[in-house]
């Protein structure tokens, strides 16, 4: 979420076009396929609906567009809005009536953060901000000093400090600042899929630059999802998806800057207050997009040595992790399913999840 636009657009459009090309090959000509594109969550969101007429698809597109606009506004990490009001109250030590637009996302985030051992922790907004990632135009800049990081880490900001009683929200730790950048898009895509189902749509895909959820099929064929090589723009693998599945990737290439020859990316390890070390990208496949999004971030931070344990805790059944040395880690079910598009030297297959 909230990435510099030109780059994200470029990437999202390439991935989007790729999926359309890939999907196109396996499409039945009889079934109408409607394709829409909108700009939301700081990225290009694509919607493809199969088997309904133009009017119905158009109505669905408009509804989704309104829903996404609402969610994007409500959960934006630094533009003024409901989240800003919560963060101000936390900073002031005040109890407030929890804004209804944020409450469900906050609750599910707390649950997923706990399951991830707080590697995924939307309470670390101040750390993300300290690194300069709360800025739409992310340019090269000096990283924060060790002292600045240590001061903040010593205050242990975490979403577990946020208390919700009835509809009142309070937090005993003023160092907490909420940032739903690692889950908001997934949660939004789940709401979109629910909306489509409510409208009687059974076969569709909602795709935000390669992070997506699909339902049903493409005229009986699976949706084929392209997974990017973290080392460049090419396709690393294809993943067939059918029924009801979300595919989410967290990568160090998504949002980053270089300063004095050193590379800094946007996925922060809450234990160190610094960009997580050891992982280049993680792809998670899961029935719901909310969990997939949070888990991709958590497993990225868990890294090559600990992803398996955290995946088990979070109930994840399909993982692909590419580490910074180019070694590929997967569980057996993912290995069976993934279609690698390039030769891979070093594949490490874990125990079953």
- Write out the residues near Mg ion by the rule CB under 5 A: 182, 293, 296-297
Nearest to 245, CA basis, from 205, 220, 218, 214: 214
- Size of the chain in residues: 353
* Smallest distance, Mg ion to C-beta of residue 120, A: 7
The verdict on 110 binding ligand ADP (CB under 6 A) reads no
Give the nearer residue to ligand ADP in terms of CB position, either 13 or 242.
13
Among 121, 203, 229, 245, binds ligand ADP (CB under 6 A): 121
Q: Which of residues 229-268 bind ligand ADP (CB under 6 A)?
A: 250, 254-255, 266-268
The verdict on 182 binding ligand ADP (CB under 6 A) reads yes
Element (H or E) spanning 6, and its range?
helix 5-25
Give the nearer residue to ligand ADP in terms of CB position, either 57 or 294.
294
Six token digits for residue 289: 């997009």
Give the nearer residue to Mg ion in terms of CB position, either 57 or 311.
311
Six token digits for residue 12: 């999202």
Nearest to 269, CA basis, from 311, 304, 312, 298: 298
The verdict on 40 binding ligand ADP (CB under 6 A) reads no
Nearest to 241, CA basis, from 199, 198, 292: 292
Give the nearer residue to Mg ion in terms of CB position, either 48 or 293.
293
Q: What's the number of CA atoms in the CB half-sphere (13 Å) around residue 261? A: 0
Q: DSSP letter string over 105-158?
A: HHHHHHHHHHHTTTSS-TTBHHHHHHTT-S-SS----PPPPHHHHHHHHTT---
* Smallest distance, Mg ion to C-beta of residue 207, A: 15
Give the nearer residue to Mg ion in terms of CB position, either 49 or 314.
314
The verdict on 124 binding ligand ADP (CB under 6 A) reads yes
* Smallest distance, ligand ADP to C-beta of residue 53, A: 33
Name the site residues for ligand ADP (rule: CB under 6 A). Answer: 1, 120-122, 124, 128, 133, 179, 181-182, 211, 250, 254-255, 266-268, 270, 293, 296-297, 301
């Amino acid at each position: 979420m909230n990435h510099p636009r030109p780059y994200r657009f470029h990437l999202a459009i390439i991935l989007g076009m790729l999926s359309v090309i890939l999907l196109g090959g396996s499409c039945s000509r009889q079934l109408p396929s409607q394709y829409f594109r909108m700009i939301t969550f700081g990225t290009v969101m694509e919607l493809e609906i199969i088997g309904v007429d133009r009017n119905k698809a158009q109505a669905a597109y408009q509804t989704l567009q309104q829903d996404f606009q609402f969610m994007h506004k409500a959960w934006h990490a630094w533009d003024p809005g409901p989240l800003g009001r919560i963060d101000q109250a936390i900073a002031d030590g005040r109890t407030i009536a929890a804004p209804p637009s944020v409450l469900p996302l906050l609750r599910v985030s707390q649950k997923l953060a706990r399951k991830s051992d707080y590697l995924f922790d939307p309470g670390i907004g101040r750390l993300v901000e300290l690194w300069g990632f709360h800025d739409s135009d992310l340019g090269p800049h000096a990283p924060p000093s060790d002292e600045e990081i240590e001061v903040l880490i010593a205050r242990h900001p975490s979403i577990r400090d946020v208390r919700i009683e009835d509809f009142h929200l309070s937090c005993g730790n003023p160092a907490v600042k909420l940032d739903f950048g690692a889950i908001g898009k997934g949660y939004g895509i789940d709401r979109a899929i629910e909306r489509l189902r409510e409208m009687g749509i059974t076969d569709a895909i909602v795709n935000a630059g390669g992070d997506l959820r699909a339902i049903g099929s493409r005229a009986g064929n699976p949706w084929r999802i392209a997974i990017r090589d973290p080392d460049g723009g090419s396709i690393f693998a294809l993943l067939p998806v059918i029924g009801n599945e979300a595919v989410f990737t967290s990568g160090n290439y998504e949002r980053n800057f270089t300063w004095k020859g050193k590379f800094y990316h946007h996925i922060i390890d809450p234990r160190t207050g610094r960009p997580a070390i050891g992982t280049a990208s993680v792809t998670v496949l899961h029935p719901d997009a909310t969990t997939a999004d949070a888990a991709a971030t958590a497993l990225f931070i868990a890294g090559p040595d600990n992803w398996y344990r955290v995946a088990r805790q979070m109930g994840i059944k399909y993982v692909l992790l590419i580490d910074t040395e180019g070694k590929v880690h997967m569980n057996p079910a993912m290995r069976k399913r993934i279609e690698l598009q390039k030769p891979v030297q070093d594949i490490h297959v874990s125990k079953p999840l």
